Structure 1
Amino acid sequence: MGELTQVIQQFFTDKITHFFESNPYYHIESNGEDLLVFRRERLASIKQIKALYDFGKRLKAVIS
C-alpha cells in the first residue's frame, strides 16, 4: 500500500510474493529507506527473536 502503486507492483515479483506466502506471518512496514518487521506488539522470547532474525536474513537475501 502506498502512493507509487506501479513501483510497488514492480517490487513484488513472483520470487518475493512466494517468499511471503511460504513464511510465517509478520507485519512489515517501510518509510522508503528502512523496514520495520514485527510479529506481535509485546516482548518476544529468545526463540521468537531468533525466528525473526532468521526471517530478516532470508528476506534480505530475497530482496537484494
Structure 2
Amino acid sequence: MDPSNARWRKSTRSGASGGNCVEVADNLPGAVGVRDSKDPAGPTLTFAPAAWRSFVELTRTGDPTT
C-alpha cells in the first residue's frame, strides 16, 4: 500500500478535541489503511477490504456470526 495517495478520515464521533481516534483511508486499491490520528507520520496498519468490512460490521452488531 502506498499511503501517499490516501485520503484519511476520522469518525464523526471523534469530537472536536481529537482525542483517542483512528483515521481510515478506504480509497486505496485493494487495501484499507488505519492509523493513529495523533501520530499521522507513524505506522499504518493495512487490511484487505473484506476483512475491514467484517471488523466494522462486528463492532456495529457485536455478533461474530454476521
TM normalised by structure 2 equals 0.27
Structure 1 or 2: more helix by fraction = 1
Higher relative contact order (CA 8 A, sep 6+): 1
Higher strand share: 2
User: Normalising to structure 1: TM-score of the pair?
Assistant: 0.28
